[in-house]
A and B are shown apart, each in its own frame.
Chain A
């Protein structure tokens, strides 16, 4: 998984609680991404980062926020989890502006919101 870890790997939480997922990389890659995967939808981009403290929204960003204070860590926060955010979340990384589209994925976090 290209030096990418995600934590936790599994989480069950209740509606209305805050949740933070962590992506950690050891590749020193500049770009990091959060996707969610749902049956019938493939993978959809939530947010991405193009450097420390530099982030932008993806296709399905409502209800999510991100932060990147260090090159190696990219955090995804659900401020108040809802059942529609039950999904598998994947982090991805890419090396540089020239190869930003060559993305490598982590192992995923399965989140269940009851």
Chain B
């Protein structure tokens, strides 16, 4: 089955700086890659996603890039703000309808 590795497990950045979280996946058939943000005590919230026919997608301060050849994808957050502090999860899914495979999460800490 699919295996998703996520790094780093903890990332601390100064407010206003950029943050990058990276994920790799194992199944070349995977074709959908979402990113979720989870705040303490809440469910994961979908913040951005990308499909395999696209190399990059942006939404304001957030962007995701995908390299299908290398089987890795990354989340980029620019001009970080205190409200960006949370745990971020990457995930992957393939053409089969059988759920998402998640990375283990990155705890992003924004230092004032």
CB within 8 Å of B: which residues of A? 1, 4, 31, 33, 35, 40-45, 48, 50, 56, 58-59, 90, 97, 100-108
Contact = CB atoms under 8 A, between A and B. Distances in A.
A90 B98 contact: no
Q: Report which residue of B1, B36, B46, B97 has the largest number of chain A beta carbons within 10 angstroms of its beta carbon.
A: B97
A42 B46 contact: no
Contact of A45 (B32, B44, B45, B100): B100
Contacts of A1: 43
Contacts of B91: 43
B54 to A, nearest CB: 14
Nearest to A6: B43
Contacts of A50: 97
Interface of B: 1, 6, 32, 34, 36, 42-46, 49, 89, 91, 93, 97-105
Contact of B98 (A35, A45, A108): A45
A30 to B, nearest CB: 10
Contacts of A108: 42-43
A105 B43 contact: yes
Given A42-B89, A42-B105, A43-B89, A104 B98 contact: no
